[in-house]
Structure 1
């Protein structure tokens, strides 16, 4: 008569609480990822075959209605030069300014912005989306 074999318990890991914790963590990360950058101006960039990488000092966005944004702040074309001077005065190296233009915006507005950037001694860089290039 072997009594010890009947009293032996089988080790089990109860995962009910673990599933609840994982579900809560998943919800937390989903909510945080949508709030990560709420102040971004949505534009659809033109497509290109090559990738342009540059150390960006400041980003100027031109949306489809020809509105200019310096960072997240809306500025007029007449205020752009004075506002941009304050950003570029802080830089020691040759600064570069990224122009993030909507693909439906007029090219003339982007060219005027480039002229202002070059007048201030910075390098203008046009942001393009190469994810859909063929």
Structure 2
């Protein structure tokens, strides 16, 4: 009579090292995603209840000092139409131009930019921030 217990092998995969690697990768991607911001020019967008999602051709930024940037390149208001026309000539369907304006900038500058965009046959879209809405 065999009373001894048989030692059975329990097949287990030890994942301690894998958990450490996954944690480090997660931390790395979180840090990198906060640094990779396509909007290099910092502006505080006005707040809104709805979000503006649109396929954007180009981004025009108006900062608080009324400086205009066309795809992160400073442009004078007088040359905006000719510079923007070069960007819009590459598009086949109706392009949309996102205006990224600072909440403290003058509304007149954004309206003049919108008029130039409409004159060139594109759709102007105003970028707003819906974070922190009440």
Aligning the two structures, in what range does the TM-score lie when normalised by the shorter sequence? 0.7 to 0.9
Secondary structure of 2:5's match? helix
38 and 92 in structure 1: CA distance in 2 versus 1, 3 angstrom threshold: closer
Correspondence 1:91-106 to 2 at 5 A: 91-106=91-106
TM-score (norm 2): 0.80
Tell me, which stretches of 5 or more residues in structure 2 are unaligned?
none
4+ residue stretches of structure 1 with deviation over 6 A? none
Three-state SS of the structure 2 residue aligned to 1:105 is coil
Q: CA RMSD in A?
A: 2.4
Matches within 5 A, 1:1-134: 2=2, 5=5, 7-37=7-37, 40-134=40-134
* Residue 64 of structure 1, CA deviation: 1.5
Task: Indicate how the Cα distance of structure 1 residues 18 and 96 shifts in structure 2: closer, same or farther if over 3 A, else same.
Answer: closer
**Displacement of 1:65:** 1.9
Instruction: Tell me how far 1:62 sits from its aligned partner.
Output: 0.8
Shift of 1:87: 0.7
Matched pairs, number: 134
For the residues of structure 2 that align with 1:105 and 1:119, how far apart are their CA atoms?
A: 22
Q: CA distance change for structure 1 residues 22 and 44 in 2, over 3 Å: closer, same or farther?
A: same
- 1:19-73 deviation digits (Å, cap 9, x = unpaired): 3212322232123313433653222111223444333221101111222111222
User: Residues of 2 paired with 1:37 and 1:120: CA distance?
Assistant: 28
**Per-residue deviation at 1:110?**
0.7
C-alpha distance in 1, partners of 2:21/2:54? 41
Question: Unpaired segments of 5 or more residues in structure 1?
Answer: none
Q: Aligned partners of 1:36 and 1:63: how far apart in 2?
A: 20
